[in-house]
Structure 1
Amino acid sequence: MDLLLAVRMYINKMIDESGPGMKVLLMDKETISVVSVVYSQSEILRKEVYLFERIDAGANRELMKHLKCICFVRPTRENVEALCHEFKHPKYGSYYVYFSNIIPKTDIKQLAECDEQEIVKEIQEFYADYLAVSPHVFHLNIPNVYHEFNWVPETLNRVMQGLSSALLALKKAPAIRYQNSSEMAHRLAERVRQLMAKESALFDFRSNGPQPVLLILDRREDSVSPLLNQWTYQAMVHELLGINNNRVSLADVPNVSREMQEVVLSSESDEFYSANKYSNFGEIAMSIKQLMEEYQTKAKMHAKVESVTDMKNFIENYPQFKKISGAVSKHVTLVGELSRLTAQNDLLQVSELEQELVAGHLDHAECVQRMRQVITNPKVTTLDALRLVLLYNLRFERDPARDSHTFTELLRRKGAPDRWLQLSDKLIRFGGARFRLTDLFHSETVSANAFMRRLAKGIRGVENIYTQHAPLVKDLVDQLVKNRLKEASYPFLGGAQMRERPQDVFVFILGGMTYEEAFAIHELNKANPSCRVCIGGTTIHNAKSFLEEIWNSDLV
């Protein structure tokens, strides 16, 4: 199961079916993102696609009858109407139309009626209605899905379409399980099942093995994972700098060069990133050192151009040399900025306390003392102080000694905006114990096991202090693939049951996933080669985007 390869194959097929010659790629806002995360612009240019246009640009596009038009858009009413207008007033010589999801037959008929000049050579459905971040990770780029902890109909429909598109791309018709405590998860599961029944011919995939399983979860079950600082490369970049459609803005980095103000992080085109995105921060430093040494060796070789043979070798190897040079500049800049922010914001101290909070190493009195020290540290940012307060309130939600007021006042003195001061109460409503099926902190056994946990912490060593937390999804998927996931808490839709262990598993988290969870699934796939797990979400959160999700969740 390779979500990224599936989208690349669709794009290749679109371009190949139009034949040789100069082409324009006509897209909408969302399909531009779908394409950009799996293909660089330079790769597309090598396939004779010389122009990229937006379908909503309308009259602003030039008349270019010598170009073939590959149109890749979502099957929305707005896009169908735009295409109808396009076909009546064509700007290109011929059109090859591909919808990223299922399109109603009535819309196809309407498009056919508008093609009076018979310029449309092809209309097909290619199921690429999701953003493929890596072979096992996808998201839909839809933040803020909660509306008073319920679905807005348009959002529910869009999420159902994106999720079903991923299933169709990989040719899977799964049994569906959902989180029983979440009405939103139940409704999404029902909508996916209804679509599978309605489009039964599309989902008629024959398989010799066990039926795949789709597990639909709600972000509210685990509010801890998005609040933690991260220490693997990909997750750390997203947490501290933000990754948007594989792009990272470095415009605010001190003394950054113009060409480094925005960089691309793609597993497909960046070998170093592909090999190191799940490495921890200490390992990244060593990998960067090796990359620089390789670059320096090649640079010395290129400096010795003394003969015709040397010149020939230089010309042959220059593209690879330039590629390594670009990778060195990019990753040295990125890792340098991560190091600067880590030291400037005292993130090691913050992260250690975060991990001890969620791992249950501290009793309440110890926690309060440590929290005061860290929050009043002038190097610690207001955002990091807020994370600690939110984790504290979740951890000690039902403890009579919990003192939210004191920490709220400390945040106020630190300059936290008023809306941040309201987030503690909002978080309890969002993901407190009343909603959750799971005791995230194992609070019923903390006092009995506190000494053993401290001892284990000492044995494991300092390199593990910052990565003690494992996201809940890791445990749930591990139980699922072993056929041990409780059906009372995560029932099959329609009462279906499975006796065999599943080999293909889709996990979807409404309310957004995290790169920590993507890493956890990657580790599970490595440990269980006979089982293939993909994970997706409505978006990929860092702490800032998750706080926005919480803030908007119960707004009317």
Structure 2
Amino acid sequence: MSFSDSDSSSYGGEYKNFRQISRERLLQEMLRSARTGDSKSTWKVLIMDRLTVKVMSYSCKMADITQEGVSLVEDIYRRRQPLPSMDAIYFIQPTKENVIMFLSDMSGKSPLYKKAFVFFSSPVSRELVAHIKTDSSVLPRIKALKEMNLEYFAIDSQGFITDNERALEELFGDEEDSRKGDACLNVMASRIATVFASLREFPFVRYRAAKSLDVTTMTTTRDLIPTKLAARVWDRLTQYKQKIEHFPQTETCDLLILDRSIDQIAPIIHEWTYDAMCHDLLNMEGNKYVHEVPSRTGGPPEKKDVLLEEHDPIWLELRHAHIADASERLHEKMTNFISKNKAAKIQHGSRDGELSTRDLQQMVQALPQYSEQIDKLSLHVELAKLPQDDMNAVNNMRLLGGVSETKKSSTGAFSLKFDIHKDLVEKLNKGELSKDEYPCMNDPSPTFHGTSHSSSPLHTGPSPAPHSMRQRRNPTWARPRNSDDGYSRWSCSYSCSLS
């Protein structure tokens, strides 16, 4: 039995986006590593809890999992059929309840599975490891016991969430509950840290400082939340620095932790992008949307489930566009498609006349592309389709979209600041962010952002500049949103907002 962190992924060669890195870690470091020795050619059972199922589903498809030798996926908390001839892969959170369930599965004379490969989603405590070691019947059946350190949801190629939906209430609510708030901070810190474990990045941990202590201003518990979260993230990162092989020993990027006070207007107004509007105004389950399509047999409309994900090129192109701009561009796409596709052109142009044999031949040849494209375009046309009152409000919002300076009312009593996150990231990238307002948890390292520090009194030569373990060096966060390189919103600076 071995207890160690999972082997480091190779990030050399081509640049990999965030979801690709997460996917490769799950498939290669976890599932593929279980296909060794006498287990190489046998099918396995994958057992997960509620959270790790979501972690897996955001990065991998069922076909990916099956390809790695998994024939069955099970919930650790459901009653399961014994499969004593098969090995099991456990991908679970390191909780006492999960460990008890695992030991129940694998202990005694009749375990549910032959051997077990256990992967924890975040660092496991010494107490739980000791608890596992106390069961002598289980130890010989454990083929691997590792920390994956992957406990976030890769929602797309560039972003992630930590699934703390009640964080705002638990951290900033009227009725302060120190135990709930403390537990919430611990979970958030652990999950944020696993992002950097997966990326093999060691950040400067910056945070928005609490108000100054003086006779007129009292610092509250809420003011200290960014400070507390930054301290806990930093604590976990220093542990990774010691435990994880090939983890950077000097800083490679910035992490900036903010709270909602930096952007109070966002919860009041809706986001204006196509992506945000879909999630705000439609009845969606995650990324799944159910819409009606005309019946091919002439009957009533049929319901169809679609996933608004990156495999849909139209969604990929329009999701970050302003809703009014997305509507215009979609209209142009539909018009352009009808003018160029033979099947669409003939169908729209020959409604009042009969089709010739040549027309029919050209239409049949163009049908595969027509069916695929018209399905995709029709889906998004229906999604831009809001009631007129809502569309009027959306179109009026567009007038505010380009404002980046403070807008004040005639009385001067109310003001809005737009693009404040962009301003902060720009200053952070240039090294101009105030150290008093946004202090750093880290001790100075030899070199970062072009600033040198001596590591010791005897240091005489230049220190090598630390760099990201990922291949791409140039930051892309400031590129236009219509950039076609696929990484237009990704950079080596990370901003974490407690919303």
Shared fold, TM over 0.5: yes
Over the matched positions of the two proteins, sequence identity in percent amounts to 20
**How far is 1:200 from its partner?**
3.6
1:368-427 alpha-carbon deviations (Å, 9 max, x no partner): xxxxxxxxxxxxxxxxxxxxxxxxxxxx7xx2xx8xxxxxxxxxxxxxxxxxxxxxxxxx
Question: Residues 122, 204 of structure 1: CA spacing in aligned structure 2 closer, same or farther, 3 A cutoff?
Answer: closer
1:72 is aligned to 91
**How far is 1:166 from its partner?**
0.4
Question: Residues 264, 496 of structure 1: CA spacing in aligned structure 2 closer, same or farther, 3 A cutoff?
Answer: same
1:313-349 alpha-carbon deviations (Å, 9 max, x no partner): x9xx99xx59x95675355224313323466553335
TM-score, L = length of structure 1: 0.62
Give the alignment partner of residue 62 of structure 1, picking from 81, 85, 89: 81
SS across alignment from 2:386: helix
**How far is 1:481 from its partner?**
0.4
Give the alignment partner of residue 307 of structure 2, picking from 246, 254, 264: 264
Query: Whole-Å Cα distance in 2 between the matches of residues 148 and 206 of structure 1?
Result: 31
1:17 is aligned to 33
**How far is 1:291 from its partner?**
6.5
2:135 is aligned to 114
1:56-83 alpha-carbon deviations (Å, 9 max, x no partner): 11xx222223443221111122211111
Give the alignment partner of residue 274 of structure 1, picking from 289, 292, 316: 316
Give the alignment partner of residue 189 of structure 1, picking from 230, 238, 242: 230
**How far is 1:216 from its partner?**
0.8
1:545 is aligned to none
Give the alignment partner of residue 491 of structure 2, picking from 516, 526, 532: 532
Larger RCO, structure (CA 8 Å, separation 6 or more): 1
Question: Residues 12, 79 of structure 1: CA spacing in aligned structure 2 closer, same or farther, 3 A cutoff?
Answer: same
Q: CA RMSD in A?
A: 4.4
Bigger shift: 353-362 or 123-132? 353-362
Query: Whole-Å Cα distance in 1 between the matches of residues 376 and 481 of structure 2?
Result: 30
Partners of 2:84 and 2:113 within 8 A in 1: yes
2:352 is aligned to none
Partners of 1:521 and 1:535 within 8 A in 2: no
Query: Whole-Å Cα distance in 2 between the matches of residues 18 and 293 of structure 1?
Result: 53
1:238 is aligned to 279
**How far is 1:108 from its partner?**
2.5
Question: Residues 67, 38 of structure 1: CA spacing in aligned structure 2 closer, same or farther, 3 A cutoff?
Answer: same
1:437-486 alpha-carbon deviations (Å, 9 max, x no partner): xx753xxxxxxxxxxxxxxxxxxxxxxxxxxx53x211101110011111
AA of the residue aligned to 2:151: D
Give the alignment partner of residue 476 of structure 1, picking from 409, 424, 446: 424
Bigger shift: 96-105 or 19-28? 19-28
Question: Residues 522, 145 of structure 1: CA spacing in aligned structure 2 closer, same or farther, 3 A cutoff?
Answer: farther
1:460 is aligned to none
2:454 is aligned to none
Query: Whole-Å Cα distance in 2 between the matches of residues 140 and 87 of structure 1?
Result: 31
2:189 is aligned to 160
**How far is 1:189 from its partner?**
0.7
Partners of 1:138 and 1:536 within 8 A in 2: no
Question: Residues 363, 249 of structure 1: CA spacing in aligned structure 2 closer, same or farther, 3 A cutoff?
Answer: same
Partners of 1:180 and 1:491 within 8 A in 2: yes
SS across alignment from 1:187: helix
Query: Whole-Å Cα distance in 2 between the matches of residues 208 and 106 of structure 1?
Result: 28
Query: Whole-Å Cα distance in 2 between the matches of residues 87 and 9 of structure 1?
Result: 28
Query: Whole-Å Cα distance in 1 between the matches of residues 376 and 229 of structure 2?
Result: 40
Query: Whole-Å Cα distance in 1 between the matches of residues 308 and 239 of structure 2?
Result: 39
Partners of 1:130 and 1:140 within 8 A in 2: yes
1:271-303 alpha-carbon deviations (Å, 9 max, x no partner): 443344334412233345566778876999xxx
Question: Residues 67, 531 of structure 1: CA spacing in aligned structure 2 closer, same or farther, 3 A cutoff?
Answer: closer
2:473 is aligned to none
Query: Whole-Å Cα distance in 1 between the matches of residues 467 and 194 of structure 2?
Result: 16
AA of the residue aligned to 2:161: H
SS across alignment from 1:56: coil
Question: Residues 195, 535 of structure 1: CA spacing in aligned structure 2 closer, same or farther, 3 A cutoff?
Answer: closer
AA of the residue aligned to 1:193: W
1:418 is aligned to none
SS across alignment from 1:114: coil
1:91 is aligned to 112
**How far is 1:362 from its partner?**
6.7
Query: Whole-Å Cα distance in 1 between the matches of residues 112 and 338 of structure 2?
Result: 49
Partners of 2:154 and 2:160 within 8 A in 1: yes
2:435 is aligned to 487
**How far is 1:130 from its partner?**
0.3
Partners of 1:229 and 1:239 within 8 A in 2: yes
Query: Whole-Å Cα distance in 2 between the matches of residues 213 and 109 of structure 1?
Result: 36
AA of the residue aligned to 2:22: V
Partners of 2:93 and 2:121 within 8 A in 1: yes
Show the 5 A alignment for 1:80-229.
80-88=99-107, 90-114=111-135, 116=137, 118-146=140-168, 147=170, 149=172, 152-181=181-210, 182-202=223-243, 205=246, 211-229=252-270
Partners of 1:142 and 1:538 within 8 A in 2: no
Query: Whole-Å Cα distance in 2 between the matches of residues 8 and 85 of structure 1?
Result: 30
1:410 is aligned to none
Give the alignment partner of residue 381 of structure 2, picking from 335, 356, 379: 335
Bigger shift: 22-31 or 338-347? 338-347
